[in-house]
Amino acid sequence: MKKIAPDWLKKAVFYEIYPSSFFDSNGDGIGDLPGIIAKLDYLVDLGVNAVWLNPCFASTFADGGYDISDFRQVAPRYGTNDDLLKLFAEAKKRDIRICLDMVAGHTSTEHAWFKASARPEKNEYSNYYIWNNSWLESTGGLQMISGMAERDGSFMVNYFSVQPALNYGFANPDPAFPWQLPVDHPDVLKVREELKNNMRFWLDLGASGFRCDLAPSLIKKDPGKVATMALWREIREMFDAEYPEAVLIAEWAYAPQALKAGFHCDFLLHCGTPGYTTLFRNEPERDLWRGIDKSAFYEKDGNDYTVKNFHSYFDAAGLGDAEFFFKTYLDHYERTREDGFISIPTGDHDMTRISDFRSEQDLACVFAFILTMPGVPFIYYGDEIGMKNIPGLVSKEGGYTRTQARTPMQWDGSENKGFSTAPAEKLYLPVDKRPGAPDLAEQQGRPDSLWHKVQELLKIRQTLPALQADGGLKLLLADYPLVYLRSKGEETFVIVIQPAAREWRCEVELPFAAAELSPVLAGNINAGIADGKMCFSGGGTQYGIWQIKR
Ligand code: GLC
Ligand code: CA
């Protein structure tokens, strides 16, 4: 039987670092790799054991580093390749795995492959990208750019106009457009080998895996993603044969495809942003915390935005619908349990931060959920202290509205919040100086802070295998509160989360005749057993974990 994942992944909790904004070690205003190395002990203290690093490679930075000009070279502003190797080594000493970001689908127009491909004379890179045959030819319905090269043709892009799509071929090439090459054309198979070799390059040097950017997009005109899934399965075979301890993490946002395609994890990206492809295929009303009921809208008032008609489940108002979420989640979970893990992130560099409209206690409930669910959780830097969006910033390096969630980590209360010694106007992005902006030092000094609660939850997850990636899940109640079981072997735990700020009481069936509920973390919730049922009650915005003992 195939092994679902390397053992370390089952215990992994990831921390996503956007390198420009984490910690600046040399005072130039931009975060860097030595800065991350300097903060590794912080990650140990917090209790995470894996890092996803956004792209740190040579780039034109028109899309925050997702426009790569050399896959094998660290961007000078972040340091050198040696710094990255040092990060691998220092992280390893602390039992932390470092996963990189593999932008498989496109490069920067400054990449040497693209420059060669854009040449008018035919050469070995001509077919590395998707070009039609004449600058005047119709585009075949694809997003094509013309007028930027001497080559007589237009090239396809995946995202911004400086991100030409690498050519992995077309599952169903249109005979009217002979430049649409089939997936087994020798030229496009060469691109596939390049992808594998770029992965081998960093895996050989100590990376523990990759988050794979826009993973479902590689093969064009591929309805049902059949050909794209076969491509990734081939890469998984390479991992199993050559790098069995390394992991593949998809930005696919549809586990039933991604995990069957060989990924070890796939993100549940239910970010609720209208127009964004989510786990729920643009059904943001199923979102638990960002999203928004169908009637929600943003209202702009000067530089501030307010969301109106916002009813996500984790709001203190208690007007959301967890059942709706679980219907889809459990369907995906049941269909993929034997294949891999669903990753629930607190946020990422593309979404608004989770903290909008929430108190620390509201956020603690969100963390209690994410850190007790199956799969592999991801914490976006700064979410552990409830860092806030800074709306209204001018777009930085292609961030647009995403810029608001990419501001520097708030380490302490000093000038620049401890991020950098550069003058404030030189910082990559401004730090949050608004009253009430959280900082780590303050929260570490306050025992009831969000940071301490996150740390406590992480410790509990690390010590209880039932709560980890492959522990069983059984939903008992998807209402206010939310009640579910996690189990492994003989051990069963019940988790109760009440995000609504109101008094409550509930009764749920016991999974087996039990003698007692033994608290792991009881908070202010009363728990007991009566008439063969578990009874819980308490005030609002609470969570707790109990072991059910026979
Ligand atoms: C992914 C990245 C995003 C980037 C895009 C294009 O969605 O997360 O930041 O802009 O791909 O590479
Ligand atoms: Ca720096």
In angstroms, what is the span from residue 418 Cα to ligand 2's centroid? Answer: 13
Residue where a domain stops, chosen among 440, 463, 486: 463
Q: Which atom of ligand 1 is nearest to the CA of 402?
A: 9
Structural domain range at position 330: 7-104+189-287+320-463
Question: Could you give the dihedral angle defined by the CA atoms of residues 523, 525, 529 and 534, in that order, rounded to the nearest 10 degrees?
Answer: -100
Q: Which ligand is nearest to the CA of 31?
A: 2
Dihedral in degrees, nearest 10, Cα atoms 478, 452, 265, 11: -110
Establish if 209 belongs to a structural domain: yes
Whether the CB-CB separation of 249 and 239 falls below 8 Å is answered with no
Task: Tell me the whole-structure pTM to 2 decimals.
Answer: 0.95
Structure tokens at 450: 């969000």
Nearest to 233 by CA among 273, 291, 183, 305: 183
- Judgement on whether residues 432 and 482 belong to the same structural domain of the protein: no
The more confident residue out of 361 and 356 is: 361
Residue nearest to atom 7 of ligand 1 (CA): 214
- Whether residues 60 and 124 share a domain: the answer is no
Could you tell me if residue 266 is inside a domain?
yes
> In the predicted model, what is the mean pLDDT of residues 387-396?
96
Q: Where are the alpha helices (DSSP H) in 437-498?
A: 440-444, 450-463
Q: For residues 371-376, give the mean pLDDT.
A: 98
Output DSSP code: residue 82. Answer: H
Distance 213 CA to ligand 1 centre (A): 6
Q: What mean pLDDT comes out for the span 489-511?
A: 96
In a domain, 333, yes or no: yes
Residue of the nearest CA to atom 4 in ligand 1? 66
CA 426–ligand 2 middle distance (angstroms): 11
Q: Report the atom number in ligand 1 closest to the C-alpha of 158.
A: 6
- One domain for residues 55 and 126: no
Domain count across the chain: 3
Domain-terminating residue out of 137, 167, 197: 167
Evaluate: CB of 32 within 6 angstroms of ligand 1.
Answer: no
pLDDT of residue 408: 98
Ligand closest to the CA atom of residue 64: 1
Ligand 1 atom index nearest CA of 159: 6
The response to whether residue 215 sits with its C-beta less than 6 Å from ligand 1 reads no
Query: Is residue 220 in a domain?
Result: yes
Residues 75-110: tens digit of each pLDDT: 999 999 999 999 999 999 999 999 999 999 999 999
> 228 near 216, Cβ under 8 Å?
yes
**Co-location of 412 and 518 in the same domain:** no
What is the C-alpha to C-alpha distance for residues 312 and 290, in angstroms, rounded to an integer?
A: 7
Report how far residue 60's alpha carbon sits from residue 64's, in angstroms, rounded to the nearest whole number: 9
Indicate which CATH number applies to the domain containing 524: 2.60.40.1180
Distance from the alpha carbon of residue 21 to the mean position of ligand 2, in angstroms: 9
Short-list 211, 242, 221, CA closest to 348: 211
Distances (CA, A) of 123 to 119, 150, 183: 8, 14, 20
C-alpha span between 306 and 296 (Å, rounded): 10
Q: Of the bound ligands, which one is closest to the alpha carbon of residue 427?
A: 2
Q: Is residue 293 a part of any domain in this protein?
A: no
Contacts 24+ apart (CB under 8 A), 170-175: 170/219, 170/220, 170/221, 170/222, 171/219, 171/220, 171/221, 171/222, 171/223, 171/226, 171/227, 171/228, 172/221, 172/222, 172/223, 173/221, 174/140, 174/221
For 313, half-sphere exposure in the C-beta direction (CA atoms, 13 angstrom radius) is 22
Residue 201 has pLDDT above 80, yes or no: yes
By most ligand atoms within 8 Å of CB, the mutation choice from 63, 106, 273, 378 for ligand 1 is 63
Q: How far is CA 294 from CA 280, 289, 304, 310, in A?
A: 13, 14, 21, 9
Q: Is the pLDDT of residue 213 over 50?
A: yes
Domain termination residue (choose one: 463, 487, 503) = 463
Kindly identify the ligand whose nearest atom is closest to the C-alpha of 252: 1
CA-CA distance, 536 to 550, in Å (whole number)?
19
Residues 162 and 203 in one domain: no
Alpha carbon distance 485, 511 (integer Å):
9
What is the rounded CA–CA span in Å between residue 445 and residue 437? 15
How does pLDDT run across 294-308, given as a tens digit for each residue?
455 656 666 655 556
52 ligand 1 Cβ < 6 A: no
Q: How far is the CA of 531 from the centre of ligand 2 (A)?
A: 62
* Residues 439, 458 within the same domain: yes
pLDDT tens-digit profile of 392-431?
Answer: 999 999 999 999 999 999 999 999 999 999 999 999 999 9
Q: Is 470 in the pocket of ligand 1 (CB under 6 A)?
A: no
Ligand 1 near 214 CB (within 6 A): yes
**Bond before 182 cis per omega within 30 degrees:** no
